[in-house]
Chains A and B, each alone.
Chain A
Amino acid sequence: METRYPGFADPVLDAQASFRAVLEAMSRPGRVQAVVAPPELPPGLSPAAAAMLLTLVDAATPLHLTAGAEAEAWVRFHCGCPLVEVQDAVFVLDPAARLEALDAGTEEEPENGATLILEVAGLEEGRGWRLRGPGIRGEHRLQVRGAPEGFLAAWARNRARFPRGVDVILCAGVQIAALPRTVQIEEG
């Protein structure tokens, strides 16, 4: 299947801007950043999730994707990544994926832990969850609308196995926020 949907308007500078957004998001968990989105999107992907795939995924990073055939054809063309089952993936974009099902790396090579790109309904700073940990002075607050059922309990288990673990990039519209495996989350 071929795709008629484009990638970044400027593949070099848009990827750089989106990377700086995710670097800032990962460095300061709970702070919301805006990415540069491609001009047109395949059905099934938010602008932010599409930008993250174009920025980070390529032939070296197997992807698990459940966003439909159009989105699959689009990533095959623009990212050239293998599409695999959830446990073999380096990046996962699947709203039903459980954190425990993803590769968490090993004690010696925790960097092999997968990254979950999670589409949510909305992100807002200043209220909601209470975040603590590296990258945060005192406390950041982040409201995540539409997080999966039982996410906080699963997150606590994810965090408990540090340095192994999974990192999460939350996407809503053109906005992202990140949850590195070090961050401690309490209900607001």
Chain B
Amino acid sequence: MTYDPGYNFAYLDESTKRMIRRAILKGVAIPGHQVPFGSREMPLPYGWGTGGIQVTASILGPDDTLKVIDQGADDTTNAVSIRAFFRRVAGVATTERTAEATVIQTRHRIPEHPLTEQQIIVYQVPMPEPLFRLEPRIAETKRMHALADYGLMHVRLYEDIARHGHIATSYNYPVMVNGRYLMAPSPIPAFDNPKMDQMPALQLFGAGREKRIYAVPPYTGVRSLDFDDHPFRPIRAPHACALCGSRESYLDEVITDDSGGKMFVCSDTSYCTERQTAREAAE
């Protein structure tokens, strides 16, 4: 495939790619640690996945097959636009099927289909600092990471229990990476947290506005924070998908009319479509 000759391959200039590549390598060498980088202005606003796009642009090669999802869906505006962007500026093949992709850029979900060693998942991250609601000063959070001083986060989870009887955090649930760094998993549902642990695929995180890159290497321990008497529990709506019948996948609640009608469907559209196709083929 060819790419638009008006741009360098994959949009970014080579010195920017080198800078981002160096940050990615240090991120991989220090799992869970946020590495600052010189985030560039991209042809879409901060908050639309500029960090993820810069990471993807720096790793992508002509032989890659790219999948982009937004809240699990391949057919939402953000996902469609980013796929079209990389088809144009890098000429790469794109897919909606998780198993066919070599690079998966995601906003707020991990696909249901288990990822393999041949894949890299790139998360779009709005706020890389897990402590920012507890300590707004970056100078102070850097020191807390240096000292692995994460008591404040445990206090927050404890306050959840004191107030609600359980840990009420349902997304962006804080994790410890390789037993050392507290990390924001990006706003994926807590349901997806266990998939990060010992994942065969490399996980890269890009925060464009906050100018941070971090990473979790393959087969690395990722533990959701909890207490002995309040163990971590991934939360899932207690329903079956209305389209494919799955009782394992993460569900979206979709309002269907203005008189209280609703249905639960898989948030991962690729997974749901594959199951529906398989079911139709069996009938």
Contacts and interface: CB of A to CB of B under 8 A. Distances in A.
Interface string B128-140: 0000000000000
A137 B219 contact: yes
Interface in B23-67: 23-31, 33, 35-36, 58-62
Contacts, number: 111
A136 B15 CA distance: 31
Interface string A105-125: 011111101010000000000
Contact of A163 (B9, B24, B30, B61): B30
B61 A13 contact: yes
Interface in A124-168: 134-137, 162-163, 167
Given A20-B61, A27-B218, A108-B146, A60 B19 contact: yes
A27 B218 CA distance: 7
A135 B220 contact: yes
Residue among B59, B200, B217 with most chain A CB within 10 A: B217
Contact of B202 (A27, A59, A167, A180): A27
Contacts of A108: 142-143, 145-146
A12 B145 contact: no
Interface string A58-84: 111100000000000000000000000
Which secondary structure dominates where chain B touches chain A? mixed
Interface residues of B, number: 45
A134 B219 contact: yes
A135 B219 contact: yes
B21 interface: yes
A59 B93 CA distance: 33
B14 A20 contact: no
B15 A55 contact: no
A24 B135 CA distance: 35
B180 interface: yes
B29 A19 contact: no
A15 interface: yes
B219 A12 contact: no
Residue among A12, A57, A136 with most chain B CB within 10 A: A12
Interface in A163-188: 163, 167, 180-182
Nearest to A107: B146
B247 interface: no
Contact of B33 (A61, A110, A135, A137): A110
Interface string B166-210: 000000000000101100000000000000001010100000000
Contacts of B17: 15-16, 19
Contacts of A163: 30, 33, 146, 180-181
B220 A134 contact: yes
Given A26-B28, A111-B33, A135-B217, 4 more contacts: A13-B61, A23-B25, A23-B59, A108-B146
The 8 closest A-B pairs by CB, nearest first: A180-B29, A107-B146, A135-B217, A134-B220, A111-B26, A137-B219, A134-B217, A108-B146
